[in-house]
Amino acid sequence: MLRPLTRALAALAMLTGAALMGTDTTAQGATPQPAGTGPAHQFSFTSIDGAPMSMADFAGKAVLVVNTASRCGFTPQYDALQSVWETYRDRGLVVLGVPSNDFGGQEPGTEAEIKAFCETNFSVDFPMTEKQVVVGAGAHPFYRWAAEAGGPDKVPGWNFHKYLIGPDGQFVAAIPTRVSPTDPRAIETIEKALPN
């Protein structure tokens, strides 16, 4: 019952935040672009280990960006994400985990705790960022851009929402929480986005 309401509120908050923030979709010195324009390569994160992480480093590769959480009913999707990463990384796929505490307070730990949890329980070795806000006015600029590029119905409504970005940095698709990264529909979408 609450899921549609949560999604609607998240979408409204995202749209309101984007409107209030105008064209500021920059991170760590990137060139300003109108929301939803330009490639995803204009954005930067900080890695879970505290190092700079530019999306430009992934130019020429498809990137599956996933807002993750350690205490969620969908947390076992870490296994599927790791499997997809191992299967497709040599063909040009990057899986990028973005821990977020936005939904149900299900990612309360520090970056060190999150990293240890992922490595110990799921043998995760794909790149991960510091914890981020992914919805609303305070969302990371990448997430504001993706919401504009994909539309309000593609805004994360829960943990393990997946955005697929093409090798050119353009928005390709949103894969909802309930669709595992190893679901045939997700695999077909990922394979089509891989660099030639």
What pLDDT does residue 105 have?
97
Residue 158 makes CB contacts below 8 A (sequence gap 6+) with 3, 6, 72, 74, 103, 104, 177
Distance CA 30, CA 42 (A): 6
pTM for this structure?
0.82
If you write DSSP's letter for every residue of 116-159 in order, what string do you get?
Answer: HHHHHHH---S-BBPP---SSTTS-HHHHHHHHHH-GGGS--ST
List the CATH number of the domain containing 177: 3.40.30.10
Instruction: Calculate mean pLDDT across residues 172-182.
Output: 97
Higher-confidence residue of 109 and 23: namely 109
Confidence of residue 196 (pLDDT cuts 50, 70, 90): confident
What pLDDT does residue 24 have?
30
Instruction: Calculate mean pLDDT across residues 71-84.
Output: 98
- DSSP helix/strand/coil, 193: helix
Give how many domains the chain has, as a whole number. 1
> Which domain does 35 fall in, by range?
2-193
Distance CA 120, CA 123 (A): 6
Higher-confidence residue of 12 and 35: namely 35
What token pair was written down for 31? Answer: 């060139």
Q: What integer best gives the mean pLDDT of the chain?
A: 86
What pLDDT does residue 33 have?
45
- The catalytic residues are 72
* pLDDT digit string, tens, across residues 118-134: 999 999 999 999 999 99
